[in-house]
Amino acid sequence: MQRRHLLLAGLGSLAGLALVGPSRLVLAQACAAAPTEPNIEGPFYRPGAPFRSRLVGEMASAPLVISGRVTDAACRPLRGTTIELWQADEHGEYDLDGDRYRGIVRCDANGIFRVETIVPGRYLNGGAYRPAHLHAKVHANGRPVLTTQLYFPGDPQNDSDPWFRPSLLLASGPSPCCYVPNQPHRMTFQFVV
């Protein structure tokens, strides 16, 4: 009987989440208590990226939309936080002369951010390929800068990459009931700084 009540409570929670809008869904997610793990900056960081939430211009394929939240360890949103993002293009190459696939997003009063990009390509690093990943620097007022990387679940290169950390996996975000061609793929991540 107790198992049945737990199942019904879980279904009720899911139904309640389905009634809220996309920005509220991020707020309704459980708060991660552990600080986000740092990760290497890599050789392709360049300061001075423009403020923008879309990291590419014309997109031939459906974009990737990453949304999430920045909080402290007590789940309080860190308003005004900025996140620098940079990544390789679909062929695994970094733009070293311009700002394609580079940008800075500002979190709103609830610590929520949203960015449109694409899934970056893998590239050869020595004798092995790096998994698809995005680089991030989180600048929260009065706190040390968090430099890290975000990884994609199911990437076959994750297990052989020396910098991959399971805690830095993006999670699948809310999506429609079925695949819709040319619609964005949605992922989420919560930074805790």
Q: Show which residues are catalytic.
A: 94, 123, 130, 133, 135
- Closest alpha carbon to 155 in 128, 192, 126: 128
Q: How far is residue 164's CA from residue 65's CA, in Å, rounded to a whole number?
A: 21
Is residue 64 a contact partner of residue 183, using CB atoms and an 8 Å limit? no
Tokens for 107, please give them.
Answer: 């979190």
Q: How far is residue 38's CA from residue 52's CA, in Å, rounded to a whole number?
A: 24
